[in-house]
Amino acid sequence: MSRVLAAVAWPYANGPRHIGHVSGFGVPSDVFSRYMRMAGHDVLMVSGTDEHGTPIQVQADAEGVTPRELVDRYNRVIVEDLRGLGLTYDLFTRTTTGNHYQVVQELFQGLHDNGYIIARTTLGARSPSTGRTLPDRYIEGTCPICGYDSARGDQCDNCGNQLDPDQLINPRSKINGETPEFVETEHFFLDLPAFAEQLNAWLDTRDGWRPNVLKFSRNLIADLQPRAITRDLEWGVPIPLDGWRDRGDKRIYVWFDAVIGYLSASIEWARRSGDPEAWRRWWQDPDAEAFYFMGKDNIVFHSVIWPSILLGYSGPKPGSLGALNLPTEVVSSEYLTMEGKKFSSSRRVVIYVRDFLERYDADALRYFIAVAGPESTDTDFTWSEFRRRNNDELVAGWGNLVNRSISMAAKNFGEIPAAGVLTSEDTALLEAVRAGFAQVGDLLGRHRQKAAISEAMRIVGEVNKYFSDQSPWKLKDDKARMGTVLHVALQAVRDCNTLLTPFLPHAAQQIHELLGGTGVHAPMPRIVDVEDLDNGITYPILTGDYTTGATWSPQDIVAGTALAAPTPVFKKLDESIVEEELARLQS
């Protein structure tokens, strides 16, 4: 057994999340965490909503609400969506907690004490007519990198690059259209080049990583520049230095505060668990492993910048929390597109998680993401392919096997029949299914989920073939042999169900019960309204008890267990849903 930190990307709280978001980080991290727990590891899975930064402030301004009101709304929406997908976070929290502010300020202070934070004079924007500082969000201009004409003073939403206001071509004030003047202003920078040597030495030890991630990271390190970690903005974590703490116009940059969330959420989880030091087992034990899950656009933060922050806080003199572990692996996914187009809320090329779950089961989406998601290449979500995989594979493959084996046993015996003497076909099938635990488990442990579910479904296919070959419905005159075949088939169904549990937890719980099982087979997260540990504000978290449930091993079924006629576990989708959904996209 080992300790495993599953550190999952933080969704930005400026709107509901679409299925492209959750296919990149949410579902894969849950499949991994469920498998690791079943295999006996001590998993801590944490994340939360990312709630600071200019885009939140801009949107709040546009809606006439405070940033706090905006993030309160979307934090709850996102928490409910992730619960609906069955994602087993030990703690899903948010970046506006008192605990997060303290941990961010502690890391800032520790980096500052070790000399890795440098003050620099940069050019900030000022309104010539009023003489006031113009925060980044009030400046717009043409992106110097991609030419997009509505880039903001801190970021281009078209190409995703971070910018400084004075880099914009034809900068203008969003308040009155005037051209801002640029005056000297002081900001803090993280001295990233100071870590280049340590980062390269660390990457040399990461032989299990995907080659493209390593190559990409090494290229970044060759060209590292100090990076701004403060901004002209009122919404965010205050700078914890004398002379800066009380300034209302300067805040810590949102990217710097958000990556620290992995640590602050672990600390919040420990504080809520009754053992405030418990987080150290995942962050300071040299044997603990840490896996970070994200989309490919975030690799730089996890393979270079977050490790730099961890290195700079841990030495030469560790901060008051002590030295912290570096990531074991950065597990990035590629992009999911929608009917051949990039997801876009503004262009309505989107399906939100909530809308999806109103019309379809969570496991149907989890299945599609696992078998056809963007694990290693960009992939396209189409409604016709979603329907085809659901109907041909989930319903006709796995669901049909579950249904016909249980209903035939229920009808003819009313219970799990006893097995007589096993034929070589019987034992060959049982061995093939048992071998799946090593094969599928090995693939899941190496983040090869597409290959893992394909292997599990290949085994399901073997069981279906056995069932057809043995044709128990033709054995009405040989009840003993019929009982043996059904016993073998039900044993195979039970073990296949365990192999599929990390991918299809809702269905797995139902199938467990159809086979006469009681208690928790696949644990589920729950939403709890809690008080902020430091300021008493109430907010919802996702958490759960995941210590119960199935283990990653074959379990013998018990002859004589009562069986009832099953209700179908998966729903067949009508052809009309494809047109209906495409019409929704175009409306």
475 binds Zn ion (CB under 5 A): no
Q: Minimal distance in Å, beta carbon 178 to Zn ion?
A: 23
> How far is 126 from 134, CA to CA, in rounded Å?
5
First to last CA, the chain: 52
The least distance separating Zn ion from the CB of residue 407, rounded to whole angstroms, comes to 58
Q: What angle do CA 534, 236, 348 make, to 5 degrees?
A: 115
Question: C-beta of 126: minimal distance to Zn ion in Å?
Answer: 24
149 or 204: CB nearest Zn ion: 149
Residues 36 and 452 sit within 8 Å (Cβ to Cβ): no
**Cβ closest to Zn ion, residue 164 vs residue 375:** 164
Residue 294 and residue 342: Cα distance in Å, rounded?
A: 18
Distance of closest approach, residue 517 Cβ to Zn ion, in angstroms: 54
How is residue 230 written in tokens?
């403060």
Kindly tell me which of 168 and 459 has the beta carbon lying closer to Zn ion. 168
Q: Could you tell me the smallest distance in angstroms from the CB atom of residue 573 to Zn ion? A: 40
Work out how close the CB of 131 gets to Zn ion at its nearest, in angstroms, rounded to a whole number.
30
Nearer to Zn ion, 148 or 343 (CB): 148
For residue 67, the minimal CB distance to Zn ion (Å) is 24
Q: Locate tokens 């013998």: which residue?
A: 556
User: Per CB under 5 A, which region of 142-150, 177-185, 448-456, 507-515 contacts Zn ion?
Assistant: 142-150
Burial class (CB in 10 A: 0-12, 13-18, 19+), 456: buried
Decide whether 152 or 487 has the Cβ nearer to Zn ion: 152
Helices 449-470, 27-38: crossing angle, 10 deg rounding: 70
Q: Are strands 230-232 and 250-252 parallel, antiparallel or unpaired?
A: antiparallel
Residue whose CB is less far from Zn ion, 152 or 389: 152
Q: Which segment (96-104, 155-163, 164-172, 401-409) binds Zn ion by CB under 5 A?
A: 155-163
x/- mask, Zn ion, residues 36-65, rule CB under 5 A, reads: ------------------------------
Which spans in 42-116 are helix H?
Answer: 54-63, 67-84, 98-113
Concatenate the DSSP letters of all residues of 169-180 into one string. EEEEETTT-PPP
Selected range binding Zn ion among 146-154, 427-435, 453-461, 494-502, rule: CB under 5 A: 146-154
Q: What are phi and psi of 174, to 5 degrees?
A: -75, -15
The contacts of residue 438 (CB under 8 Å, 6+ apart) are none
In the complex, the smallest distance separating the C-beta of residue 159 from Zn ion, rounded to whole angstroms, is 3
Span 156-215, contacts to Zn ion by CB under 5 A: 156, 158-159
Binding mask 88-127 for Zn ion (x = CB under 5 A): ----------------------------------------
Binding mask 420-459 for Zn ion (x = CB under 5 A): ----------------------------------------
Return the number of the residue (150 or 551) whose C-beta is nearest Zn ion: 150
Does residue 407 bind Zn ion (CB under 5 A)?
A: no
CB of 161 to Zn ion, least distance (A): 5
Identify the DSSP state of 52.
-
Binding-site member from 56, 60, 143, 433 for Zn ion (CB under 5 A): 143
Which helix or strand (DSSP H or E) is residue 209 part of?
A: none
What's the gap between Cα 427 and its chain centre? 39
- CB closer to Zn ion out of 142 and 412: 142
The rounded Cα 48 to chain-centroid distance in angstroms is: 10
- CB closer to Zn ion out of 156 and 482: 156
**Which one, 119 or 159, has the nearer CB to Zn ion?**
159
Judged by CB under 5 A, the residue of 118, 119, 146, 183 near Zn ion is: 146
Binding pattern to Zn ion, positions 15-34, x when CB under 5 A? Answer: --------------------
Q: How far apart are CA 146 and CA 91, in angstroms?
A: 38
As measured in angstroms, the least distance from the Cβ of 140 to Zn ion is: 12
Nearer to Zn ion, 146 or 169 (CB): 146
Q: Please name the helix (run of DSSP H) or strand (run of DSSP E) that holds residue 92, with its range, or none.
A: strand 91-94
How many Å separate Cα 22 from the centre of its chain?
6
Cβ-based nearer residue to Zn ion, 33 or 298: 298
Of 65-73, 108-116, 141-149, 274-282, which segment contacts Zn ion by CB under 5 A?
141-149
Give the Cα separation of 353 and 87 in Å (integer).
13
Beta strand spans in 342-419 (E): 379-381
For 510, half-sphere exposure in the C-beta direction (CA atoms, 13 angstrom radius) is 13
Helices (H) and strands (E) in the chain, counts: 21, 17
- Choose the binding region for Zn ion from 14-22, 151-159, 304-312, 323-331 (rule: CB under 5 A): 151-159
Which residues, including other chains, have CB under 8 Å from residue 453's CB and lie 6 or more apart?
367, 370, 371, 500, 503
From 461, 50, 460, 549, select the one nearest 259 (Cα to Cα): 50
**Stretch binding Zn ion (CB under 5 A), from 33-41, 57-65, 150-158, 231-239:** 150-158
Which residue lies nearer to Zn ion by CB, 344 or 551? 344
Cβ proximity to Zn ion: between 144 and 318 the closer is: 144
Residue 457 C-beta: closest distance to Zn ion, Å: 42
Shortest gap between Cβ of 146 and Zn ion (angstroms)? 3
Q: State which of positions 347-376 bind Zn ion (CB under 5 A).
A: none
Residues 6 or more apart whose CB falls under 8 angstroms from that of 294 comprise 9, 24, 25, 301, 302, 330, 331, 332, 333
145 binds Zn ion (CB under 5 A): yes
Q: Give the Cα separation of 488 and 127 in Å (integer).
A: 78
Q: CB count, 10 Å around CB of 162?
A: 12
Rg of the chain over CA atoms, in angstroms? Answer: 27
From 61, 109, 148, 193, residue interacting with Zn ion (rule: CB under 5 A): 148
Task: Provide the binding-site residues for Zn ion, judged by CB under 5 A.
Answer: 143, 145-146, 148, 156, 158-159
